[in-house]
C-alpha cells in the first residue's frame, strides 16, 4: 500500500544543510500495521509529512497505492494523518473539529454519505476516546492529551484507507495510553486499514505492529525491520507473554548505544 524507495531529504537551516533522511526504503503492506521507531531527530515526522504530500523530498520514490503523495492528497478518502502536535481550530468546538474533514470533503463532493450519520459517528468516536462530556468544549478548555485524542477522532471520522500517525499517544498518561492502544487495535482489526505509526515507545510498537521499522540516528535510515509474530487479535495480556518481552528486548538491543 505504501512503497518507499531511496528517500532522501535535506533541510537548509541558515548556514548549514541537515540531511534528515537518506536511502529510506521499505514497504507497508495493505491492511498491515507498521510502526517506526528511532532516536529523536532521525526524521520520522519528516518521513510522514513526505508520504502525506505535505513536504517535497530531494530524491526517491513514494507511492501510496498507485498514487504519488500529491495525487493521494487530492483524494482525501485515501489518506488521513494525526500530527505530532494536535492541530485543532480554536474557534470550533470539539465535535466540530472532528467533523472538519467531513465538511471539507462533502463540500468538494468527494465524500458520499449522510451528514447526520457522520455526526453520530463523531460522537461515538469521542465517547470511545473518553471525551463524552466534552463534545461542545473548545480546544483551549482541554488538556494536551485530550486535544490529541480529538485529533485521533478527526483522522478516523471519514474512514481513510491509510492513516499516518505521528506519536498520537505521546501526550497521554500510561493508563489512557494502554486503553487507547487496545481501542486502536480494535478499530484496525475491524477495518482493514493500513496504519503507519510513529512512536517512541518500543513496547507500544511491538504490541501494536506487524512490523517495526527501526531507524538510525540522523541522517535517518532503516537500520532493521523487526517482524512481530505475536498472534492476533492481541488482548492486553499479550504484554505479559515471554515472546512479547523477547521482541521488546530485541527492539531495545538496536538502541544499546543510546542507553
**Contact positions vs Mg ion (CB under 5 A):** 45, 84
Q: Which of 22, 28, 37, 44 binds ligand ATP (CB under 6 A)?
A: 44
Least distance to ligand ATP from the beta carbon of 57, Å?
Answer: 12
Q: Is the peptide bond before 215 cis (omega within 30 degrees of 0)?
A: no
- Smaller CB separation from ligand ATP, 105 or 171: 171
Q: What is the Cα Rg of the chain in Å?
A: 18
Distance of alpha carbon 103 from alpha carbon 92, whole angstroms: 13
C-alpha cell at 35: 510502526
Distance of alpha carbon 169 from alpha carbon 151, whole angstroms: 11
In the block, residue with C-alpha cell 460522537: 123
- Smaller CB separation from ligand ATP, 225 or 236: 225
- Rule CB under 6 A: is residue 41 a binding residue for ligand ATP? yes
Residues 153-212 interacting with ligand ATP (rule: CB under 6 A): none
133: which strand partners? none
Q: With contact defined as beta carbons under 8 Å apart, do 217 and 38 qualify?
A: yes
Q: Which of 7, 33, 35, 43 binds ligand ATP (CB under 6 A)?
A: 43
Q: Which of 35, 45, 155, 221 binds ligand ATP (CB under 6 A)?
A: 45
Q: What secondary structure letter does DSSP report for 22?
A: E
Residues 215-244 interacting with ligand ATP (rule: CB under 6 A): 218
Q: Which does 43 bind (CB under 5 to 8 A by kind): ligand ATP, Mg ion, none?
A: ligand ATP
Least distance to ligand ATP from the beta carbon of 35, Å?
Answer: 13
Residues 54-93 interacting with ligand ATP (rule: CB under 6 A): 84
- Rule CB under 6 A: is residue 11 a binding residue for ligand ATP? yes
Distance of alpha carbon 198 from alpha carbon 25, whole angstroms: 16
Q: Is the Cα dihedral 104, 98, 43, 207 positive or negative?
A: negative
Which residues contact ligand ATP (rule: CB under 6 A)? 11, 13, 18, 20, 38, 40-46, 84, 218
Amino acid at each position: 500500500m505504501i512503497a518507499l524507495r531511496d528517500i532522501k531529504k535535506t533541510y537548509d537551516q541558515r548556514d548549514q544543510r541537515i540531511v534528515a533522511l537518506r536511502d529510506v526504503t521499505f514497504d507497508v503492506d495493505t491492511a498491515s500495521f507498521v510502526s517506526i521507531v528511532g532516536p529523536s531527530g532521525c526524521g520520522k515526522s519528516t518521513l510522514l509529512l513526505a508520504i502525506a504530500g505535505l513536504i517535497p523530498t530531494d530524491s526517491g520514490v513514494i507511492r501510496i497505492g498507485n498514487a504519488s503523495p500529491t495525487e493521494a492528497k487530492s483524494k482525501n478518502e485515501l489518506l488521513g494523518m494525526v500530527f505530532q502536535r494536535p492541530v485543532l481550530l480554536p474557534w470550533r468546538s470539539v465535535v466540530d473539529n472532528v467533523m472538519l474533514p467531513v465538511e471539507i470533503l462533502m463540500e468538494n463532493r468527494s465524500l458520499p454519505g449522510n451528514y447526520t450519520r457522520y455526526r453520530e459517528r463523531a460522537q461515538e468516536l469521542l465517547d470511545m476516546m473518553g471525551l463524552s462530556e466534552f463534545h461542545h468544549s473548545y480546544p483551549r478548555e482541554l488538556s494536551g492529551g485530550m486535544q490529541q485524542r480529538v485529533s485521533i477522532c478527526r483522522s478516523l471520522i471519514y474512514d481513510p484507507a491509510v492513516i499516518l500517525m505521528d506519536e498520537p499517544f505521546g501526550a497521554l498518561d500510561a493508563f489512557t495510553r494502554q486503553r487507547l492502544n487496545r481501542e486502536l487495535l480494535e478499530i484496525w482489526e475491524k477495518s482493514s486499514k493500513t496504519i503507519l505509526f510513529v512512536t517512541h515507545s518500543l513496547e507500544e510498537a511491538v504490541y501494536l505492529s506487524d512490523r517495526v521499522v527501526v531507524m538510525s540516528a540522523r541522517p535517518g535510515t532503516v537500520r532493521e525491520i523487526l517482524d512481530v509474530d505475536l498472534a492476533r487479535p492481541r488482548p492486553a495480556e499479550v504484554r505479559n507473554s515471554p515472546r512479547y518481552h523477547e521482541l521488546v528486548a530485541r527492539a531495545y538491543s538496536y538502541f544499546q548505544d543510546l542507553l
